[in-house]
Structure 1
Amino acid sequence: MVGSAATHCEPVAQPVEGVARPQGQVLEFPKGMTLNVLRQDRILHEARASADPLHLMRLFGISTSTALRHVGPAYPERTAKLPR
């Protein structure tokens, strides 16, 4: 029978570094970075990755108009240019 050195008491995988923080430790943002700015950045990043307003609406719980406002800047070549 072939066995391994690991037993049922030893962890199989090491925890991902930077994920586990001691209880009570506060996550610090860079100066000028707020939760709202971070959320807007994540929405825009996802808009660039998927270009699907429905996906953004479901993922972030945002309205149709908000989703379209984020997809527009992510893909300016796809937005209609109306003559003035």
Structure 2
Amino acid sequence: NTIVKPLEEVTKAAEKMASGQLSSRSTKKYDDEIGKLSDTLNSMAEELSHKDELKNEFISSVSHELRTPLTSIKGWAITLNTTDLDDKELLR
């Protein structure tokens, strides 16, 4: 029974982390193998949170960097499509 309760607590924390609640942490109560497991889970969750933040920053940056050229291309495509230009004018 002395090992069951701490394992249940670590398991609950791990299940929360696995479901996407990366801010959830395992409370370290003992300086033993269970405590080391808590530390490892917390470290893993911290690293996953950091990686998720980097991913979101990257996606935001790429989205921003692509938006301006795509808007420009779309504008030119609309202009070319709605304007009566001959071949010489199109090649300019």
* TM-score, scaled to structure 2: 0.27
Which structure: greater helix fraction? 2
Larger Rg: 2
* TM-score, scaled to structure 1: 0.29
